[in-house]
Chain A
Amino acid sequence: MKALMSVGALIGVLGLLMLIGMIFGVVPSNTVRLVEGYMPMQVLSELAVFVAGFTGLSYLANSMGMAIPRFWQGVLFWTFVQTYLKFRIYPPIPFSVRAMYGVVSFVAVFMWVSANEEDWKKFRQPILNVLDANTGFHKALRTLYLILLPILIGGFSFLTMKPSVDEPIELRTVHPAPPASTKVHGKTYTLQTSQNPYRVNLEGKYDQAYSNKLIVEQGMGRLMAPNANPWDEKAEGYLKYVREGGEIFFQNCHFCHGDNLNGRGLHAFAFNPIPANFTDPGTIAQLQETFIFWRVAKGGIGLPNEGFPWASVMPPWEQHLTTDEIWKVILFEYWHTGYYPRTWD
Chain B
Amino acid sequence: MGLILNLTNNLGEQVVRLTMSKFRVNVKASPIIGAALGALLISASAVGIGHAGDLPEGFAKGELAPAPPADMIEAGKRVYFTKCVWCHGVDGAGDGPGADRLWPRPRNFNQGTFKIRHTASGELPLFNYNEKTPDSGKNDLFDTVTHGLPGSAMPPWEGILTEEQRIQVLSFVTTQLVKDRKFTDKQSETQTILQLGTIKPAEATEDSIKKGAQLIVDKKCIECHGVEGRGDGNAFNLKDDWGFSIQPANWHKCWNFRGSRQDPYNVRNIFRTFSTGVNGTPMPSFADSTSIEDRWNIANFVNSLCERDEEGKPLGIDPLTDKPKINFVVPSAPVEGEISSDPENEMWKKQGRRYVAMGGQITHKPRNFVNRIDDIWVKSLYNEKSVVYLIQWDDRTKSIAEGKLPWAPTQVNVENFGVKEQAPKTGEEGSIAAAQNNYAVYNDAIGFQFPIKWQEIPAPFKPRYLWGDAKFNADILKWEADGSLRSFKGTGWDQDFEERDDFEEKVKLLKSEWKNGQWTVMISRPLKGSKDDYDDYTRFDIGKYIPMVFFAWDGHNGDAGRKMAVSAFYYTILQPPIPQEVYIYPAVIAVGVVFLEGWMLTRRANKKKGKVL
Q: Is the CB of B263 within 8 A of A162?
A: no
Q: Which residues of chain A (297-316) have a CB below 8 Å from chain B? A: 299-301, 305, 308-311, 313-316
Closest to A146 in B: B597
Identify which of B160, B365, B460 contacts A170 (C-beta below 8 A). B460
Closest to A299 in B: B363
Is there a chain A Cβ closer than 8 Å to B94's Cβ? no
Given A170-B460, A231-B81, does the pair A264, B320 have CB atoms closer than 8 Å? Answer: yes
Identify which of B153, B597, B604 contacts A259 (C-beta below 8 A). B153
Closest to B464 in A: A310
Q: Which residues of chain B (138-173) have a CB below 8 Å from chain A? A: 152-155, 157-162, 165
Given A165-B329, A229-B81, does the pair A251, B425 have CB atoms closer than 8 Å? Answer: yes
Closest to A260 in B: B160
Is there a chain B Cβ closer than 8 Å to A44's Cβ? no
Is there a chain A Cβ closer than 8 Å to B569's Cβ? yes
Residues of A within 8 A of B594 (CB): 146, 150
Q: CA of A264 to CA of B153 in the docked complex: distance in angstroms? A: 10
Identify which of A162, A267, A313 contacts B578 (C-beta below 8 A). A162
Is there a chain A Cβ closer than 8 Å to B50's Cβ? no
Given A222-B82, A229-B81, does the pair A269, B363 have CB atoms closer than 8 Å? Answer: no
Q: How far is the CB of A145 from chain B (nearest CB, A)?
A: 8
Identify which of B100, B369, B569, B589 contacts A153 (C-beta below 8 A). B589
Given A91-B320, A154-B586, A221-B165, does the pair A270, B359 have CB atoms closer than 8 Å? Answer: yes
Q: CA of A158 to CA of B578 in the docked complex: distance in angstroms? A: 11
Q: Is the CB of A310 within 8 A of B463?
A: yes
Residues of B within 8 A of A149 (CB): 593, 597
Is there a chain B Cβ closer than 8 Å to A262's Cβ? yes
Identify which of A248, A300, A310, A314 contacts B469 (C-beta below 8 A). A310
Q: CA of A226 to CA of B81 in the docked complex: distance in angstroms? A: 11
Interface-central residue, B158, B465, B594, B608, by most chain A CB under 10 Å = B465
Residues of B within 8 A of A295 (CB): none
Is there a chain B Cβ closer than 8 Å to A188's Cβ? no
Q: Is the CB of B604 within 8 A of A132?
A: yes
Interface-central residue, B363, B371, B600, by most chain A CB under 10 Å = B363
Is there a chain B Cβ closer than 8 Å to A223's Cβ? yes
Q: Which residues of chain B (57-85) have a CB below 8 Å from chain A? A: 78-79, 81-83, 85
Q: How far is the CB of B470 from chain A (nearest CB, A)?
A: 12
Closest to B102 in A: A266
Is there a chain B Cβ closer than 8 Å to A157's Cβ? yes
Is there a chain B Cβ closer than 8 Å to A254's Cβ? yes
Is there a chain A Cβ closer than 8 Å to B483's Cβ? no
Q: Is the CB of B87 within 8 A of A250?
A: yes
Given A165-B331, A165-B575, does the pair A154, B464 have CB atoms closer than 8 Å? Answer: no
Q: Which residues of chain B (556-613) have a CB below 8 Å from chain A? A: 566-569, 571, 573, 575-576, 578-579, 581-583, 585-587, 589-591, 593-594, 597, 600-601, 604, 608
Residues of A within 8 A of B463 (CB): 310
Is there a chain A Cβ closer than 8 Å to B129's Cβ? no
Q: Which residues of chain A (18-57) have a CB below 8 Å from chain B? A: 28-30, 33, 35-37
Is there a chain B Cβ closer than 8 Å to A64's Cβ? no
Q: CA of A167 to CA of B566 in the docked complex: distance in angstroms? A: 20
Q: Is the CB of B589 within 8 A of A311?
A: no
Identify which of B96, B321, B582 contacts A163 (C-beta below 8 A). B582
Q: Which residues of chain A (273-308) have a CB below 8 Å from chain B? A: 299-301, 305, 308
Is there a chain B Cβ closer than 8 Å to A193's Cβ? no
Residues of B within 8 A of A305 (CB): 461
Identify which of B155, B364, B575, B608 contacts A315 (C-beta below 8 A). B364
Q: Is the CB of A161 within 8 A of B87?
A: no
Identify which of B81, B155, B357 contacts A264 (C-beta below 8 A). B155
Residues of A within 8 A of B157 (CB): 260
Is there a chain B Cβ closer than 8 Å to A247's Cβ? yes
Given A250-B87, A270-B374, A272-B328, does the pair A158, B583 have CB atoms closer than 8 Å? Answer: yes
Q: Is the CB of B97 within 8 A of A231?
A: no
Q: Which residues of chain A (211-236) have a CB below 8 Å from chain B? A: 216, 220-224, 226, 229-231
Is there a chain B Cβ closer than 8 Å to A90's Cβ? yes
Chain B interface residue count, CB cutoff 8 Å, equals 90
Q: Is the CB of B545 within 8 A of A224?
A: no
Is there a chain B Cβ closer than 8 Å to A320's Cβ? yes
Is there a chain A Cβ closer than 8 Å to B372's Cβ? no
Q: Is the CB of A310 within 8 A of B83?
A: no
Residues of B within 8 A of A150 (CB): 590-591, 593-594, 597
Residues of A within 8 A of B361 (CB): 313
Q: Is the CB of B590 within 8 A of A313?
A: no
Is there a chain A Cβ closer than 8 Å to B26's Cβ? no
Is there a chain B Cβ closer than 8 Å to A271's Cβ? yes
Q: Which residues of chain B (319-365) have a CB below 8 Å from chain A? A: 319-323, 326-329, 331, 357-365
Closest to B425 in A: A251
Is there a chain A Cβ closer than 8 Å to B262's Cβ? yes
Is there a chain A Cβ closer than 8 Å to B201's Cβ? no
Residues of A within 8 A of B472 (CB): 310
Q: CA of A177 to CA of B380 in the docked complex: distance in angstroms? A: 40
Given A165-B331, A314-B363, does the pair A155, B320 have CB atoms closer than 8 Å? Answer: no
Identify which of B83, B263, B359, B578 contacts A260 (C-beta below 8 A). B83
Query: Hey, what's the 0/1 contact readout for A176-208 against B, CB within 8 Å counting as 1?
Result: 000000000000000000000000000000000
Identify which of B78, B424, B579 contacts A223 (C-beta below 8 A). B78
Residues of A within 8 A of B579 (CB): 163
Q: CA of A256 to CA of B360 in the docked complex: distance in angstroms? A: 10
Q: How far is the CB of A142 from chain B (nearest CB, A)?
A: 8
Q: CA of A35 to CA of B319 in the docked complex: distance in angstroms? A: 11
Closest to A229 in B: B81
Residues of A within 8 A of B331 (CB): 165
Q: CA of A49 to CA of B611 in the docked complex: distance in angstroms? A: 50
Q: CA of A292 to CA of B374 in the docked complex: distance in angstroms? A: 30
Is there a chain A Cβ closer than 8 Å to B543's Cβ? yes
Is there a chain A Cβ closer than 8 Å to B447's Cβ? no
Residues of A within 8 A of B503 (CB): none
Interface-central residue, B159, B321, B361, B374, by most chain A CB under 10 Å = B159
Residues of A within 8 A of B600 (CB): 131
Q: Is the CB of A313 within 8 A of B359?
A: yes
Q: CA of A48 to CA of B547 in the docked complex: distance in angstroms? A: 44
Is there a chain B Cβ closer than 8 Å to A319's Cβ? yes
Is there a chain A Cβ closer than 8 Å to B5's Cβ? no
Given A266-B153, A272-B569, A311-B568, does the pair A254, B98 have CB atoms closer than 8 Å? Answer: yes
For the complex of A and B, 10 pairs with smallest distance between CB atoms: A154-B590, A270-B359, A250-B98, A267-B359, A269-B321, A247-B97, A270-B357, A272-B568, A251-B424, A158-B586
Q: In the complex, given contacts A252-B424, A260-B160, what are 12 additional A-B residue pairs having Cβ atoms less than 8 angstroms apart?
A: A165-B329, A167-B327, A223-B79, A231-B81, A231-B90, A254-B98, A255-B153, A259-B153, A259-B155, A267-B360, A270-B359, A311-B462
List 14 A-B residue pairs with CB atoms under 8 Å apart, sorted by A's residue number: A132-B604, A146-B597, A158-B586, A168-B571, A222-B82, A223-B79, A230-B81, A247-B86, A252-B424, A260-B155, A267-B371, A313-B362, A314-B363, A315-B364
